[in-house]
Amino acid sequence: MQVIQPRTLSNRELVTHISMAMHNEDGMPLAYQIELLRRFNYYIAISSQESVLGNDTANPHDPKQLDLFN
C-alpha cells in the first residue's frame, strides 16, 4: 500500500520520487503518472497566457517550426 500521495508533494519531491521509482522493478505507479500529467497540463495552460509568463524560456518558439493541429 502506498502511503505518500503524489498530489501533496512539491515539484522537486515528485521528481525525486519518480526518479527513484523508475529504477525500481515495478516502475512508476499510476498515481504518480497521473499527477505528473496533471501538472504538465497546468503548466502548459498557464504558459499559453503571455500576460502570466511572457516568454516561455524553457521552450522557446522556433520561427521555422510549423504550428501543429491549429
- pLDDT for the residue 1: 41
- pLDDT for the residue 37: 92
- pLDDT for the residue 55: 53
Grid coordinates belonging to 62: 522556433
Output the tens digit of pLDDT for each of the chain's 70 residues: 468 889 999 989 999 989 888 888 888 889 999 999 998 888 887 766 655 545 555 556 667 777 776 5
Distance (Å) of CA 18 to CA 1, 15, 36, 47: 17, 5, 9, 23
Task: Find, among 14, 2, 4, 1, the residue nearest to 43 by Cα.
Answer: 14
- CA dihedral (45, 47, 52, 55) in degrees, to 10, reads -160
